[in-house]
């Protein structure tokens, strides 16, 4: 009888502890949440972070403070988050660079993207679009024109990117590998200066995130040749996909996602990811995204983890095949 009573007491104690833990998590957030963006203010990742967490701030009546910790291809901010407590009060909104690409480009980074984060949700994605400068536009009316030019001048046609290892850089490398061509990589310190020089004709082409160049395409300042999406974009319905052009294997998306440090308790993980998914899907948040060419994903944690592993393997292969470095 004493043994049964002891088991009962222990069982009640465990249940009480679980209830207290659940109650504590149910109160999230009961203080300010620090949201790290590992890039400078003003970019796509920063804009997504502010839109999503402003919505959560309104919902929960708590402060979500965006902190831009830029540098080293996003790895400075990512390292900070990886070392933080898994309590739901430090989160990160990131592109693929710190979560997928950096580990294959840098000899050593102070975290393991596959093991040191709790994957919460991919918020949005956008295809890249191959655009040509106004200076080159009169000569380019199709993808065949692009290929002919690259083959006539191997390694001479310049491709602007927002930096070595960026989505636009890796897309260009993949394009060259798939088509047996080669352009001249011209890396910039961010998308804005790359686009500026593209508009000015200092560089010839670029695979830019659709949302970053949509206004310039619609204004006739840049000519769009093809997009890397699985289907045509509703904001550029006249621009074909590479699949339509009989060039498979060039489906590429840039994306922004939210993670927490490794070890986030399962119930808190579900609570935060559910809140994030609801926020991203809210029309007040999603419509401004889709208006500029972003696509709402709002994936589950499990889907995000599978996606990250697939992306990592894919870009590792491209980086190794192209002998790509950060120089």
What average pLDDT values come out for the chain (327 residues) when binned by 10 residues?
A: 49 47 65 94 90 97 96 91 98 95 90 96 97 96 97 97 87 96 91 92 96 95 97 97 96 97 97 98 97 97 96 94 80
10 burial type by CB count under 10 A (0-12 exposed, 13-18 middle, 19+ buried): exposed
Residue 281 pLDDT: 98
270-312 pLDDT, tens digit per residue, is 999 999 999 999 999 999 999 999 999 999 999 999 999 999 9
Residue 87 pLDDT: 97
CATH class for the domain made up of 28-125+255-322: alpha beta
The residues with which 227 forms a beta bridge, in sequence order, are 129, 241
233-253 pLDDT, tens digit per residue, is 999 999 999 999 999 999 999
Domain(s) labelled CATH 3.40.190.10 in the chain stretch across 127-227
Question: Which residue, among 155, 166, 132, has the nearest Cα to 324 in the 3D structure?
Answer: 166
Nearest-angstrom CA–CA distance, 308 and 166: 16
Secondary structure class of 232 (helix, strand, coil): coil
Secondary structure class of 186 (helix, strand, coil): strand
Q: What is the CATH superfamily name and number for domain 127-227?
A: Periplasmic binding protein-like II (3.40.190.10)
Residue 325 pLDDT: 78
- Please report which residue ranges of the chain form alpha helices under DSSP H: 2-26, 44-60, 75-82, 96, 102-105, 143-152, 167-179, 191-200, 210-218, 266-281, 283-291, 301-322
pTM of the model: 0.86
Residue 17 pLDDT: 45
DSSP string, 17-61: HHHHHHHHHHT--SSPEEEEESS-TTSHHHHHHHHHHHHHHHHHT
Q: Are 88 and 272 contacting, i.e. CB atoms less than 8 angstroms apart?
A: yes
Domain(s) labelled CATH 3.40.190.150 in the chain stretch across 28-125+255-322
pLDDT, mean over the chain = 91
Residue 191 pLDDT: 82
């Amino acid at each position: 009888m004493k043994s049964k009573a002891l088991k009962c007491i222990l069982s009640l104690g465990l249940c009480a502890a679980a209830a207290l833990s659940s109650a504590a998590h149910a109160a999230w957030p009961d203080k300010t949440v620090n949201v790290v963006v590992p890039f400078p203010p003003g970019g796509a990742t920063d804009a997504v972070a502010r839109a999503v967490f402003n919505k959560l701030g309104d919902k929960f009546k708590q402060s979500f403070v965006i902190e831009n910790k830029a540098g080293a291809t996003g790895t400075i901010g990512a390292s900070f988050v990886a070392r933080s407590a898994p309590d739901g009060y430090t989160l990160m909104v990131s592109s693929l660079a710190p979560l997928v690409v950096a580990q294959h480009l840098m000899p050593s980074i102070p975290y393991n993207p596959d093991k040191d984060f709790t994957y919460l949700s991919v918020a949005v994605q956008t295809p890249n679009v191959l655009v040509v400068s106004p200076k080159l536009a009169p000569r380019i009316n199709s993808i065949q024109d692009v290929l002919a030019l690259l083959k006539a001048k191997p390694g001479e046609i310049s491709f602007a990117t927002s930096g070595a290892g960026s989505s636009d850089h890796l897309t260009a490398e993949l394009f060259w590998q798939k088509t047996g061509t080669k352009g001249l990589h011209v890396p910039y310190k961010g998308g804005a200066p790359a686009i500026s020089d593209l508009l000015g004709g200092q560089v010839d082409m670029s695979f830019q995130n659709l949302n970053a160049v949509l206004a310039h395409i619609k204004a006739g300042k840049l000519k769009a040749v093809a997009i890397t999406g699985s289907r045509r974009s509703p904001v550029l319905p006249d621009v074909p996909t590479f699949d339509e052009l009989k060039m498979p294997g060039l489906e590429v998306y840039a994306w922004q996602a939210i993670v927490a440090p490794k070890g986030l308790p399962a119930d808190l993980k579900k609570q935060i990811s559910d809140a994030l998914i609801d926020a991203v899907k809210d029309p007040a948040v999603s419509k401004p995204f889709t208006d500029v060419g972003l696509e709402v994903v709002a994936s589950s944690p499990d889907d995000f983890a599978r996606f990250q592993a697939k992306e990592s393997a894919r870009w590792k292969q491209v980086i190794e095949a192209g002998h790509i470095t950060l120089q």
